[in-house]
Amino acid sequence: MRPPGPGEGVAWITGASSGIGLALAEAHVAHGWTVAVTARRVEELEALSLRFPGRVLVAPADITDPAAVRAALAPLPPIARAILNAGTYERDTADTFTAARLARQVDLNLIGTAHCLEAIMPTMIAARSGQIGLVSSLAGLAGLPGSASYSATKAGLIALAESLRFDLRQHGVGISAICPGFVKSPLTAKNTFPMPFLMEADAAAKAIMRGLDADRFLIAFPEGLARPLRILRSLPYGVFFPLIARGTRG
């Protein structure tokens, strides 16, 4: 499938007020796209729009509210590329686990993304064109210490993208699972543990754009962290658990 270009519609990016989402918006503008940006924080979106007059369309919404998502999309031009990036992270372990913490992350990371998919897939299918990127995480490739709820939601996004790909490809629509490692953002700024291969947000945005432009299904980076994790995940659990525990001190 040929990925869409900047002249074929707008790029819609959720979670665009900071971190990877903001960097993705800036990178798409730099590559000639008109970008629609969605987040709850309207002031940050409007500030971005002022920096790029006519190139950034402000479409604020809380993606956990399906009516708000539909209202944000209604006035926009056709969407050629949607990068569903909005999400959150709350650290948890067995001794701090609560259903409420899991529910908050499911509501935003998984169900919120589903609201966006529900809103955009019918028009892309009807047009037989378009591209969708679901921003998961390397933590979605394997359950990691300290991220029981987060890993569960991000693994769900990968499985969702895998399943949808079978149908969407028949309609000329592409979909990718995007799995970043540690990226500097307000969320990772809260972490007190070592974060190997910590990346700047603009470097992450460039890696995502390269993957989408190449129509790759799994866009996992940085390679120095993604490759060992994929190898470890293929090993028997008797090997996987001790090695992950040793590498993360989990």
Give yes or no: 150 in active site: yes
Catalytic residue among 12, 150, 182, 221: 150
Helix (H, G, I), strand (E, B) or coil at 39: coil
Q: What is the CA radius of gyration of the chain?
A: 18
| Residue pair 151/97 in contact by the 8 Å Cβ criterion | no
How many CA atoms are closer than 13 Å to the CA of 243, on its beta-carbon side?
Answer: 14
Give the whole-angstrom CA distance, residue 165 versus residue 18.
28
Give the whole-angstrom CA distance, residue 157 versus residue 135.
8
C-beta pairs of 213-216 under 8 Å, 24+ apart in sequence: 213/3, 214/3, 215/1, 215/2, 215/3, 215/131, 215/174, 215/176, 216/176
CB crowding 103-122: b at 16 or more within 10 Å, else e: ebbbebbbbbbbbbbebbbe
Is the dihedral angle over the CA atoms 161, 164, 168, 169 positive or is it negative?
positive
Residues tagged active-site: 150
